[in-house]
Amino acid sequence: MLLRLAASAVAGGVLVAGIALPIVGGGSMGVKAAVEEVDLRPVDLVEPPLSEVSTIEDAQGRVIGRFWDRYREVVTFDQIADIMKVAVVSIEDNRFYQHGAIDIEGTIRALVTNLGSSKTAQGGSSITQQYVKQVLFNSAENDAEKSAATEATYARKLKELRYAMGVEEKYTKDQILEKYLNIAYFGASANGIEAAAKRFFGVKASQLTLSQAATLAGAVQDPNATDPEEGRKQQALLLKRRNIVLDRMAELGKITPEQAKQAKAAKLGYKGVELPGGCESSRYGYFCVYVRHEILNNPDFGKTRKQRLKVLNNGGLTIRTTLNRRMQAAADRAIRKRVRPSDNPVAAQALVEPGTGAIRAMAASKRYGDDKGEINYNLVADSDHGGLTGFQAGSTFKTFTLIAALKKGMKLNDGLAAGAGYRAPGYASFKNCQGKNVGDPSHVVTNDEGSPGWKSLKTGTWASVNTFFMELQQRVGLCETVTTAKSLGIHRSDGKDLEEFTTFTLGTNEMDPVTVAAAYAAIGARGKFCEPTAITRITLQDGKTRSYQPKCGQALDPGVADATAEVLSGVFTQGTMRGVGGIGRDAAGKTGTTDGYASAWFAGFTPDLASAVSIGDPRGSQENKLTGVTIGGVPYGSVQGASIPGPIWKETMIGALRGVKARRFTPVDAARFGGCSQNCRSVPKSSGDTDQGDDAGPVLDGDTADTGMG
């Protein structure tokens, strides 16, 4: 039996409520604290930014991916259908626009009921109080704080009231309603009205109909009990709640009885639209993963990885990237044409812009994801960007020995004799960058293809003769070759130190396409190396913008880079790619095939774009060699750099550069690099020979020899 209830109005910021508690029989029930006088003053509520979806955009500003813990898209008041505002006010707080900071009637009614009960607190909260409760819950850092934000206590209710008064002093009613609709949870993983409208009905919040608005208004009371994703029982409860809302709207005169009847006759209409999020759902999964790790590795977004992840998943970032959809499409087409998703070997490719390091595309033959037939790590990048070990880069590394030779002053027609096999003369013949002797006189490197004999820098590179490059690396120095590679950004995909063995020039280190493409891009930029970059701008939740500029430096003398491009240009006309051909504009590159055909590569560049393509078996390239395999429906006795990677590179570059005005390589400095100054061949040129006295044997990819590991 309730003896007495009295409450005054808010006066001077103090609410004095005289409450005579209900008489409760049974001593075991106890009596909650009696309060004769309550002092309520407005308290400012700390309102952290709402957790909001972060979006990734391509270079043109189109969305390509999303990250989130709680899916929410914040919208403004005018982006919410009026009928939605009417529906939620009707059912949750119909006097919202009439009462002051607190709905005295509803609040006291709930307080009296709760004070006489040992169970959970009754509702009766105004929309403002509900907003406060949501803010406190969403701000909670742990389960204890979340429990405190929802506990059924008199103290918690009073705390809400104080905060509610502060909120009402700070904002207009429309602003409070906007905030409430953006923070409210509707079920089915949808936070906020925009996410709910899309998730439930596949429309924007501004497009909601009467029936749809009533459904969402009904869901906020107990979103877990009416979650339509949970099954038919919950959907039936949601339908019942919708109809209650419609009846209430009609009762209040917000809609006519006929409108309520028609809306109630409609089916629930829940569509369960998949909420976009995660790189698995992106068409550009590998690029998305790269961007994700760029944020997680960047201390600008938090001191720890955990903090940075929270910012990414909840911070409402808008991340503008370097992705070019046209170039990406060209890479996807070229790979699809030659390697199927069902094939065990996987082709991967990265496109990087010379002079900026901008990653324009990242593609692979298998889709990124966790489903069957997909790959759940980044095939195109290193371990810092979601990748694993990568594949041995093969003879694409011979380019770094070539560069080291040019840096030492060798001319294009300088050469040396390459035997059928190579054995280090002694342990001291090769020294790593720590000065340690790493020569291995017991190991023999051979040429499975190509002919031995005298080779120049040009013809030795065109034929990709292993023994020639072992001799050349011995001459210019292992450390000099390693240092050159490092200056161009070369590092192992697994994050370990580069292995500095005698066979370094033969590409025994595991690489990823982004790293190799960026190194070759530097040659195309006349020696200017730029760190690979995927992000150009990030707009924060508060509208502030951070721009990211290329990080570049002159790694090579421009003349050395020009001479390197001159040599590598011949790979298309007289070297290992002559059977594939060029792309109709200045281009240069190098094939790569590793020991026993474990993997194959092609890396090349123009002044405008560079690309690297790899193929190998992610189940284990050494255990699953590219011999006697069928790839893309075509049987291969063995896969070399010019078999699959080369054609993929060619077709990609033609498509990616379509419409881009062709630029020429800078001509080689003939006075500096022309002719021959040492180890010159004096024998007259054979028919068809393009080098000074070089033999005219067949030009084949000779980089398939036993490379060993030093």
Cβ partners under 8 Å of residue 8, min gap 6: 15, 16, 17
Percent over 70 (pLDDT), the chain: 86
pLDDT at site 38: 57
The 3-state secondary structure of 236-298, one letter per residue: HHHHHHHHHHHHHHHHCCCCCHHHHHHHHHCCCCCCCCCCCCCHHHCCCHHHHHHHHHHHHCC
Q: Are 334 and 651 in contact (CB under 8 A)?
A: yes
Please state the rounded mean pLDDT for residues 415-420. 93
Q: Would the pLDDT of 121 be above 50?
A: no
pLDDT at site 114: 52
Structure token digits, residue 351: 């496109």
pLDDT digits (tens, 9 = 90+) for 64-73: 999 998 899 9
pLDDT at site 278: 84
Q: Would the pLDDT of 58 be above 60?
A: yes
Q: Would you place residue 682 in the very low, low, confident or very high pLDDT band (cuts 50, 70, 90)?
A: low
Q: Would the pLDDT of 21 be above 60?
A: no
Cβ partners under 8 Å of residue 535, min gap 6: 291, 294, 319, 320, 321, 322, 548
Cβ partners under 8 Å of residue 104, min gap 6: 7, 9
Instruction: Give the containing element (helix H, strand E) for 435.
Output: none
Q: Would you place residue 686 in the very low, low, confident or very high pLDDT band (cuts 50, 70, 90)?
A: very low
Q: Would you place residue 646 in the very low, low, confident or very high pLDDT band (cuts 50, 70, 90)?
A: very high
Q: Would the pLDDT of 209 be above 70?
A: yes
Q: Would you place residue 157 in the very low, low, confident or very high pLDDT band (cuts 50, 70, 90)?
A: confident
pLDDT digits (tens, 9 = 90+) for 397-417: 999 999 999 999 999 999 999
Q: Would you place residue 169 in the very low, low, confident or very high pLDDT band (cuts 50, 70, 90)?
A: very high
Q: Would the pLDDT of 37 be above 80?
A: no
Greater confidence, 706 or 152? 152
Greater confidence, 86 or 51? 86
- Dump strand ranges (E) for 26-160: 54-57, 63-67
Q: Would the pLDDT of 41 be above 50?
A: yes
pLDDT at site 696: 32
pLDDT digits (tens, 9 = 90+) for 127-138: 999 999 999 988
In whole angstroms, give the CA distance from residue 520 to residue 589: 8
Going from N- to C-terminal start, the domains of the chain cover 70-265
Greater confidence, 701 or 253? 253
Instruction: Give the containing element (helix H, strand E) for 446.
Output: strand 444-446
Q: What global pTM score does this model have? A: 0.83
Greater confidence, 7 or 341? 341
pLDDT digits (tens, 9 = 90+) for 504-521: 999 999 999 999 999 999
Greater confidence, 462 or 701? 462
Domain range 70-265, CATH architecture: Orthogonal Bundle (1.10)
Q: Would you place residue 161 in the very low, low, confident or very high pLDDT band (cuts 50, 70, 90)?
A: confident
Q: Would the pLDDT of 627 be above 60?
A: yes
Nearest CA to 212 among 123, 325, 80? 80
Q: What share of the chain is helix, strand, coil (3-state, %, to 5)?
A: 40, 15, 45
Cβ partners under 8 Å of residue 518, min gap 6: 352, 357, 488, 489, 529, 530, 531, 532, 610
pLDDT at site 27: 35
Q: Are 79 and 194 in contact (CB under 8 A)?
A: yes
Greater confidence, 139 or 210? 210
pLDDT at site 703: 42
Helix (H, G, I), strand (E, B) or coil at 364: strand
pLDDT digits (tens, 9 = 90+) for 588-613: 999 999 989 999 999 999 999 999 99
Structure token digits, residue 509: 């280190």
Q: Would the pLDDT of 156 be above 90?
A: no
Strands 453-456, 510-511: pairing is unpaired
In whole angstroms, give the CA distance from residue 379 to residue 289: 10
- Residue count of the chain: 710
In whole angstroms, give the CA distance from residue 515 to residue 601: 13
Q: Would the pLDDT of 524 be above 90?
A: yes
In whole angstroms, give the CA distance from residue 5 to residue 363: 71
Please state the rounded mean pLDDT for residues 152-172. 86
Structure token digits, residue 273: 């639209």
Q: Would the pLDDT of 33 be above 70?
A: no
Q: Would you place residue 118 in the very low, low, confident or very high pLDDT band (cuts 50, 70, 90)?
A: very low
Greater confidence, 151 or 123? 151
Cβ partners under 8 Å of residue 531, min gap 6: 357, 489, 518, 550, 551, 552
Cβ of 578: how many Cβ atoms within 10 Å? 16
The 3-state secondary structure of 123-183, one letter per residue: CCCCHHHHHHHHHHHHHCCCHHHHHHHHCCCHHHHHHHHHHHHHHHHHCCHHHHHHHHHHH
In whole angstroms, give the CA distance from residue 550 to residue 354: 11
pLDDT at site 142: 78
Q: Are 638 and 701 in contact (CB under 8 A)?
A: no
